[in-house]
Amino acid sequence: MPKSKKNKVVHTSKTESKGKEKKKELVEDIQKQLEKFEFAYIITPHNMRNTSIKDVRTQFPDSRFFFGKNRIMQRALGTSAEDEYKEGLHKLSEHLTGDSGLFLTNDKDTKVLQFFKDFKQKDYARAGFIATETVVIPEGPLKFEHPMEPMLREQLRMPTALKQGVIHLLADFEVCTEGNELTPEQGRILKLFEKKMSEFYIDVECVWRKTDGKFKKLSS
């Protein structure tokens, strides 16, 4: 006779409490940092990866970046003139949407705006990325070592064969078509052939200045 299964009781109070505490800490941290910095920007990264944003942080070692949890960041800034942490911050808060983040700094606006205007970083595109161009690999010998041939043929579906120990592409091979979404296999092929299609860059949406509470929209 099968044993009856008792319903397990999961205590969530401690987990919920920790979650609330983390949110409270983030709000307090942002407000604490607002006291230290003159300028607060809303920035929107495109095609961002952790390694990419680290490169940006190194350019502003004395500044602070906050990404994710937009609602909590909005709570820290305030969402209306009545509950804003400092005058004018609720206008900044309205632009914390999607992948946008908060950038706090004492660097002059001319330096900040020029940096983000010039900053662009090429990277390998991943699955789901919309191809920006059609890529075709021409027929002929490939640079890879011969043990890779089965992987190219079987996993990546490339028309390859070994000829005297050299991998050959037996016909022109279209990796991807401009405007189409990349598959995981296409992303792997582009990386193998060192074709960087993705570009990491950051738009500066707006800025707030602590001295006078002035808000300015920067992007169109």
Chain segment 119-148, per-residue pLDDT in tens: 999 999 999 999 999 999 999 999 999 999
Q: Residue 219: what pLDDT?
A: 76
Per DSSP, 181 falls in state: B
**Pairwise CA distance, residues 93 & 105, whole Å:** 17
Q: Which residue ranges form the domains of the chain, and what is each CATH number?
A: 20-123+199-217 (3.30.70.1730), 135-195 (3.90.105.20)
Rg of the chain taking only CA atoms, in angstroms? 25
Q: CA-to-CA distance for 198 and 124, rounded, in angstroms?
A: 6
pLDDT at 15: 63
Strand partners, 207: 41, 216
Q: What is the pLDDT of residue 58?
A: 93
pLDDT, tens digit, for every residue of 68-85? 889 999 999 999 999 999
Residue 3's pLDDT is what? 46
Q: Residue 149, Cα to own-chain centre: how many angstroms?
A: 34
Q: Is the pLDDT of residue 2 over 70?
A: no
pTM for this one? 0.80
